[in-house]
Amino acid sequence: PAWQAAGHAIFKGVNVPSKVFGELVEHHFGTPRVTAAELAAMQGSANAPVVLDGRPVSEFGKMNIPGAICCPNGELAYRLRDIVPDASTPVVINCAGRTRSIIGAQSLINAGVENPVYALENGTQGWYLSGHELEHGGTARYPDTLSPQSVRRARSGVQALSSRLDVPHIAATDAAAWLADASRTTFLCDVRTGQEYAAGTLPGAQHTPGGQLVQATDQYVGVRRARLIVFDADGVRAPIIASWLRQMGHDAVVLQGGLDAGRAAHLSAGSGPLPTPHDASSISPAELQASLAAGAARVVDLRDSMAYRAGHIPGSVWSIRPRLAEDLGAVPKTVSIVVVDDKKSAAAARLAIGDLHAHGYRDVRVLAGGIGAWTEAGHTLHAGVQSLPDARCIDYLFFVHDRHDGNKEAARAYLAWETGLIAQLDAQELATFRLPAHS
């Protein structure tokens, strides 16, 4: 209320800085676009376009434009020429709404792709709202292998982009100095695919698939004015992503030589942006069941609210770090607190353990194996909307998610919200973005 009283705008929604940026990019570059009706007509023409869906594979499987191929935004310029070898073939980029359609299409244009490139206006939502059917369970995706000549052409285009947009590259020795600088937070970002990341990355690097890092930057970068060192293994993907991050106002650079250079220099982000985890012992499902039966333990579930609704340990409380003291206010400090966090990084658990110690709980443990281990041990879960009222689900915006479940009013509300974001910005907020003077 004080912020509003001072005359500043309040923003709702998810990934707001990235969503605003997508709208600014379309206005600044004049990104070509087609409507759902125009795309449907194009698909029936002699020179039908290739439709590339810029979302991750998991999102693509939920719904897609008929005939579309999944190629996440961060992979587009890298893989396009193997997917669409004929430079005269039109290419249409879509996502679920607007941002990734715009950024994906403009990424290809900025990288010097010869094909006619368009963003699908309003993505799968626009397609659905126009009366067209969506497919579900799609599996068509980009090929894993690339031809050397396609990579060379892609790299040439991206080198020109880097020069034109002044994308800085730093040596591994300079990157090491940044990572060792305790006065600034530095994030080491691997923008390759999940399979490549799993096969080997730099110590302490987080997986930030390129398209998602631009689309949802706030989910990966939690510190304003942090440094971002972006790397790949090919010299194509990282410069494109860094160019967008810099236009968003971030201090982003490309690791010269990528993964190989980082390995040769033994580059490491240490424990990453998270602080050193507090000591906490784990507890097995059997031990937890016995403690719960004896009234000696309480379970705090730190997973997403929708995951909690879908199934949680009976008697557990759903919470987030700022609410721990309030949600556990009636729980004696002598009771053992067992934390549930199924994320691979266990980031929420690592940080919440320190919070719980600060609140006076001395015996804090982590459920070994998470909810999966609990159910594998034969224990039951409770589920249902009644377990967590909508008003408590502050990590979940229903108008954002209901648009994907056939709710046309939610889809219209979302698109109106997205296209209205620029009008909410004041001059100071607009000045945080750094779009190039030339287009």
Number of domains comprising the chain: 3
- Residue 421 is assigned to a structural domain of this protein: no
Q: Same domain for 303 and 368?
A: yes
What CATH number is given to the structural domain containing 53?
Answer: 3.40.250.10
According to the model, what pLDDT value does residue 345 have? 66
Give the closest residue to 202 by CA, choosing from 262, 120, 246, 264. Answer: 262
Stretch 104-132: mean pLDDT, rounded? Answer: 97
Q: Is the pLDDT of residue 274 over 70?
A: no
Q: Same domain for 45 and 98?
A: yes
According to the model, what pLDDT value does residue 279 have? 52
What residues form DSSP beta bridges with 340? 301
| Calpha distance 418→122 (Å, rounded) | 10
Q: How confident is the model at residue 396 (pLDDT cuts 50, 70, 90)?
A: confident
Residue range(s) defining the domain that contains residue 320: 281-392
Q: Same domain for 245 and 286?
A: no
SS3 of 273, please? coil
pLDDT digits (tens, 9 = 90+) for 342-383: 876 677 888 999 999 999 999 999 999 999 999 999 999 999
According to the model, what pLDDT value does residue 438 have? 62
Q: Same domain for 142 and 206?
A: no
CB 50 within 8 A of CB 89: yes
According to the model, what pLDDT value does residue 12 have? 86
SS3 of 184, please? coil
Q: Is the pLDDT of residue 247 over 80?
A: yes
- Residue 426 is assigned to a structural domain of this protein: no
Give the chain's mean pLDDT.
Answer: 93
According to the model, what pLDDT value does residue 437 have? 87
Q: Same domain for 190 and 243?
A: yes
Q: Is the pLDDT of residue 327 over 50?
A: yes
According to the model, what pLDDT value does residue 402 have? 65
According to the model, what pLDDT value does residue 147 have? 96
CB 81 within 8 A of CB 154: yes
Q: How confident is the model at residue 275 (pLDDT cuts 50, 70, 90)?
A: very low
Q: Same domain for 6 and 138?
A: yes
| Calpha distance 75→116 (Å, rounded) | 18
Q: How confident is the model at residue 280 (pLDDT cuts 50, 70, 90)?
A: low
CB 350 within 8 A of CB 305: no
Query: Residue 331, Cβ neighbours under 10 Å: how many?
Result: 15
Q: Same domain for 14 and 143?
A: yes
pTM: 0.86
Stretch 203-214: mean pLDDT, rounded? Answer: 97
Stretch 19-31: mean pLDDT, rounded? Answer: 97
Q: Which of 12-21, 54-63, 224-233, 266-275 has the lowest mean pLDDT?
A: 266-275
Q: Same domain for 213 and 347?
A: no
Stretch 186-191: mean pLDDT, rounded? Answer: 98
Q: Does an H or E element contain 52, and which?
A: strand 50-53
Q: Is the pLDDT of residue 277 over 60?
A: no
Q: Is the pLDDT of residue 96 over 90?
A: yes
- Residue 104 is assigned to a structural domain of this protein: yes
Q: Same domain for 295 and 328?
A: yes
Q: Same domain for 229 and 130?
A: no
- Give, in order, the Cα–Cα distances in Å from 51 to each of 31, 66, 160: 16, 9, 26
Choose the final residue of a domain: 238, 264, 290: 264
